[in-house]
Amino acid sequence: NFTVPEDLSAYDGVELRVKGDGRRYKLIIRTSYEWDTIGYTASFDTTKGEWQSVRIPFSSLIPVFRARTATDAPPFDASNITALQLMFSKFEYDGKLNPTFAEGQFELPFSSIRAYINEPITPRFVHVSSAGVTRPERPGLDLSKQPPAVRMNKELGSILTYKLKACDLY
């Protein structure tokens, strides 16, 4: 349980890094602090003895209440995650049994649980700065000792000079 809800709305899902034991587990994500409520659930299989990364897209989560699909549940809200739960359950969904379930001890070591964004990531903005760039028209400047952008300023349509003058307005 999280003390304060986590906002993962900027992400596409959750990635688990687990060492499998050949069994099927569930990831349950909760969006309410109430005890007996809907959990947004996805099952995943593990490979015995192997570390693996398991990606669970938020879009694949099934709203479940006591191992039954909740058809009247509100849509999953990634901006209000109150708890994460890993479960080894006898039941899948709607009365179906987990084919890998066996009574007794089990172990699912994990090294990380993180939110992920699908690639490629499209930047929302690009910051362009002239900080640290030498003024290309400065008297006595030895262009041969300057970075390529400064040496090529004239070929680039004097973009550095224009940008530096624009910055000087502020």
Could you tell me the CA-to-CA distances from 132 to 40, 157, 166 in Å, in that order?
Answer: 50, 20, 15
pLDDT at 20 over 50: yes
pLDDT at 85 over 80: yes
d(CA 163, CA 1): 50
Mean pLDDT of 75-104: 94
d(CA 152, CA 9): 43
User: What confidence score (pLDDT) does residue 169 get?
Assistant: 45
The H or E element containing residue 161 is: helix 159-168
User: What confidence score (pLDDT) does residue 168 get?
Assistant: 47
Phi and psi at 85, nearest 5°, equal -140, 135
d(CA 166, CA 170): 8
pLDDT at 141 over 80: no
User: What confidence score (pLDDT) does residue 142 get?
Assistant: 81
Please enumerate in sequence order all residues whose Cβ is within 8 A of that of 85, keeping only pairs 6 or more positions apart, or say none.
26, 27, 28, 29, 30, 39
pTM of the model: 0.69
Q: Which residues pair with 56 in a beta bridge?
A: 14
Cα dihedral 66→67→70→76 (10° resolution): 90
User: What confidence score (pLDDT) does residue 91 get?
Assistant: 92
- pLDDT tier, 128 (very low <50, low <70, confident <90, very high otherwise): low
